[in-house]
């Protein structure tokens, strides 16, 4: 078993031998610097509460009050009939919306999202040595957690990296050093023996299941994805992107009750960044780590002829990438077939920054044909299945107080999910402006 990056973007780089790479997956939660919430009461008063786990009229609950004791929700109900305990900290949420904390089901904390983070794809070590990049990513881990929180993301699943990823989880959750999944990077090329490869994946899955773990698989082609499902995959961490999914795939996926993570934006992020076209969105300008944003463009005066050929070619072409049409079509097909879709960004790969990249992914999911509510469900209720924490993903009594208070209605416009007024993680209240002030201060020279 080897620990390594998820990778696979862009396709066809030919840098891997014909072997199966198994990887560890660890679940991680933001806010490791924050002490556990004291046993005190908090009341969010007058909010419109959204319940993405419900359907019909029950989804939207106007003028509600949410009562929190310590790190748990103890009551959710009409403000007129929900008494606020004496001495409670009150958050006035009239004119605001409350959703469950968002969950990013596919990230890589050992990668930053900048140009220097994947030397196996494009080696810019002459500009920034990879050892310095790794050191930077470890040192700025608290800032990375903060930009997730400021973006309303209260939980994340890291799906591959070096063994210091366990330190990430310990910092975030303080759990023992045990993986939550075993992951296989299933790369099949012309001439490979698919049956022999499938046998290895099946053996890996059997070992994972015997240990009470789930099997996550990187399989981006229909042939390989179906092989992974036959071998026991529980979680496909990317879209099927080469051709439309068929009835056999749907049948296998339903039988395995799998999780399906589209990761639609990440291949675009590579092309934007390596061709010099990457520009931050409005949300990324507000919410991303400015240190990473500054490293998504080459230093001024860098000569193209001194760059790796792949990047030099993209810079010369300077061409907008095409949308991943097949993957987007497959997302809608998979959702309509009743397969559980989870939002995941693959953040950390070049051009896909930690935190606000969730909003790029959500936009592409909606453009694929999903409704705003369906996208929200993928990032909350369904995401809770990825991290295997039943206490998150919805706003209900007994759940952990992982909540986001928004300034505008996300069902009217998904972009409003980036308009975070407050975020609660484990019952503790944060303001994005304060989190980001700390991030920017740490980035200052």
Q: How many CB atoms lie within 10 A of CB 268?
A: 21
Report how far Cα 349 is from the mean position of its chain's Cα atoms. Answer: 12
Instruction: Decide which of 55 and 78 is more confident.
Output: 78
pLDDT of residue 167: 63
Does the pLDDT of residue 288 top 60, yes or no? yes
Per residue, the 3-state secondary structure of 355-402, as one string, reads CCHHHHHHHHHHHCCCCHHHHHHHCCCCHHHHHCCCCCCCCCCCCECC
Does the pLDDT of residue 175 top 80, yes or no? no
Tokens of 241: 């992107």
How far apart (Å, rounded) are the C-alpha atoms in residues 410 and 306? 46
Question: What's the pLDDT band for 32 if we cut at 50, 70, 90?
Answer: very low
Does the pLDDT of residue 26 top 80, yes or no? no
| Contact yes or no for 431/422 (Cβ under 8 A) | yes
Report pTM: 0.90
Tokens of 193: 């023996």
Which one of 101-110, 157-166, 167-176 scores highest in mean pLDDT?
Answer: 101-110
Does the pLDDT of residue 8 top 70, yes or no? no
How far apart (Å, rounded) are the C-alpha atoms in residues 131 and 129? 5
pLDDT of residue 444: 62
Does the pLDDT of residue 14 top 80, yes or no? no
Dihedral sign from CA coordinates of 231, 237, 242, 246: positive
Q: Residue 43: phi, psi to the nearest 5? A: -125, 125
Mean residue pLDDT of the chain comes to 88
pLDDT of residue 208: 87
Q: pLDDT > 70: what percent of the chain?
A: 87
Domains of the chain as residue ranges with CATH: 21-33+102-393+434-443 (3.20.20.140)
Q: Residue 83: phi, psi to the nearest 5? A: -80, 135
How far apart (Å, rounded) are the C-alpha atoms in residues 144 and 147? 5
How far apart (Å, rounded) are the C-alpha atoms in residues 121 and 66? 47
Strand order in the sheet with 21-29: 102-107, 153-158, 21-29, 181-185, 214-218, 235-236, 259-260, 340-341
Mean pLDDT across the stretch 102-124? 95
Tokens of 310: 């792949």
In Å, how far are 90, 137, 180, 267 from 321, measured between CA atoms?
47, 28, 35, 9
Strand, helix or coil for residue 275: coil
């Amino acid at each position: 078993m080897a620990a390594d990056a998820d990778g696979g973007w862009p396709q066809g780089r030919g840098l891997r031998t014909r072997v199966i790479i198994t990887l560890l997956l660890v679940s991680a939660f933001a806010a490791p610097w924050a002490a556990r919430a004291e046993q005190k009461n908090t009341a969010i008063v007058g909010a419109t509460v959204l319940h993405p786990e419900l359907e019909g009229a029950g989804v939207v609950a106007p003028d509600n009050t949410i009562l929190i004791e310590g790190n748990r929700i103890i009551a959710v109900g009409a403000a007129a009939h929900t008494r606020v305990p004496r001495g409670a900290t009150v958050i006035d949420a009239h004119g605001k919306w409350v959703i469950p904390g968002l969950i990013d089901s596919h990230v890589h904390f050992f990668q930053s999202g900048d140009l220097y983070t994947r030397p196996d794809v494009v080696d810019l070590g002459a500009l920034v040595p990879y050892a310095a990049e790794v050191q930077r990513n470890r040192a700025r881990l608290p800032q990375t957690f903060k930009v997730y929180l400021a973006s309303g993301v209260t939980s994340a699943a890291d799906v591959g990296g070096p063994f210091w990823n366990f330190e990430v989880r310990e910092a975030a959750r303080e759990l023992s050093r045990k993986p939550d999944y075993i992951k296989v990077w299933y790369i099949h090329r012309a001439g490979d023996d698919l049956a022999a490869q499938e046998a290895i994946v099946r053996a890996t899955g059997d070992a994972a299941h015997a240990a009470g773990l789930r099997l996550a698989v990187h399989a981006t082609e229909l042939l390989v994805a179906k092989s992974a499902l036959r071998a026991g995959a529980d979680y496909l961490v990317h879209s099927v992107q080469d051709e439309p999914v068929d009835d056999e795939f749907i049948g296998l996926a339903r039988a395995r009750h799998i999780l399906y993570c589209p990761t639609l934006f990440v291949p675009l992020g590579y092309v934007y960044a390596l061709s010099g076209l990457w520009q931050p969105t409005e949300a990324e300008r507000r919410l991303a780590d400015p240190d990473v944003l500054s490293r998504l463009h080459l230093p001024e005066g860098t000569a193209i002829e001194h760059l790796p050929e792949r990047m030099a070619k993209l810079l010369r072409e300077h061409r907008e990438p095409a949308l991943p049409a097949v993957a987007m079509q497959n997302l809608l097909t998979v959702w309509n077939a009743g397969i559980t879709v989870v939002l995941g960004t693959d953040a950390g790969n070049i051009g896909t920054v930690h935190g606000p990249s969730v909003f790029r992914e959500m936009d592409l999911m909606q453009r694929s044909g999903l409704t705003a509510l369906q996208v929200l469900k993928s990032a909350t209720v369904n995401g809770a299945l990825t991290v295997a924490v039943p206490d998150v993903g919805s706003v209900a009594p007994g759940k952990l107080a992982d909540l986001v208070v928004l300034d505008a209605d996300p069902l009217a416009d998904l972009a409003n999910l980036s308009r975070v007024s407050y975020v609660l993680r484990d019952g503790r209240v944060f303001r994005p402006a304060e989190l980001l002030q700390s991030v920017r201060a740490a980035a200052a020279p």
